Amino acid sequence: MNDDIRPGEVACALPGAFDAGLYFIGRIRTPWARRADCPRRGDPDGPLCLVEIDARWRGALAGLETGGELQLLYFMHEARRDLVLQTPRGRAAPVGTFALRSPVRPNPIASSIVQLETIEGGTLGVRGLDCLDGTPLVDIKPWRPARARSKTDQP
């Protein structure tokens, strides 16, 4: 772990054990090898990235169609997890981790809405990512933005 702390940042002791477990369902392939190279947000017109699904989970891709959007959840495996106050570049004062979109957080899970361009076997071609090459994939969900509810809609 990188122990560099910027002025004003505060770290905490991490718990001795995890509360839950995850199954990584694949890996994400991007052009970015270093965090400093990653864009701050994914661009729907950005480079084509590949989402490689592990063989055991490929059956779960049934029903996906190109041309739509997906929400990808992934684990930012190289991020620190112990900062409660951070001093982002360009800010003079520290800010609480939960007030930032920084990858540095207790559970470094990210979410991106991506454009599904291709499906070839167990590999999805998508645009809109902002993560390191080799990032572990946690989940895939179809993206359907919420619609405004009318007064006649049932809860």
Which sequence spans correspond to the domains of the chain? Answer: 23-142
* Distance separating alpha carbons of residues 106 and 80, to the nearest angstrom: 8
The CATH class for the domain spanning 23-142 reads mainly beta
Return the SS3 of 94.
coil
**Quick one: pLDDT at residue 150?**
59
Percent of the chain with pLDDT over 90: 69
CA–CA distance from 14 to each of 9, 17, 81, 84, 105 (Å)? 16, 9, 8, 11, 11
Predicted confidence band of residue 145 (pLDDT cuts 50, 70, 90)? confident
**Quick one: pLDDT at residue 92?**
87
Return the SS3 of 58.
helix
**Quick one: pLDDT at residue 3?**
67
Asked whether residue 149 carries a pLDDT value surpassing 80, the answer given is no
Which pLDDT tens digit goes with each residue over 103-142? 899 999 999 999 999 999 999 999 999 999 999 999 999 9
> Regarding beta strands 69-75 and 135-142, do their DSSP bridges make them parallel or antiparallel, or are they unpaired?
antiparallel
C-alpha closest to that of 119 among 59, 67, 66:
66
Predicted confidence band of residue 155 (pLDDT cuts 50, 70, 90)? low
152 versus 51: the higher-pLDDT residue is 51
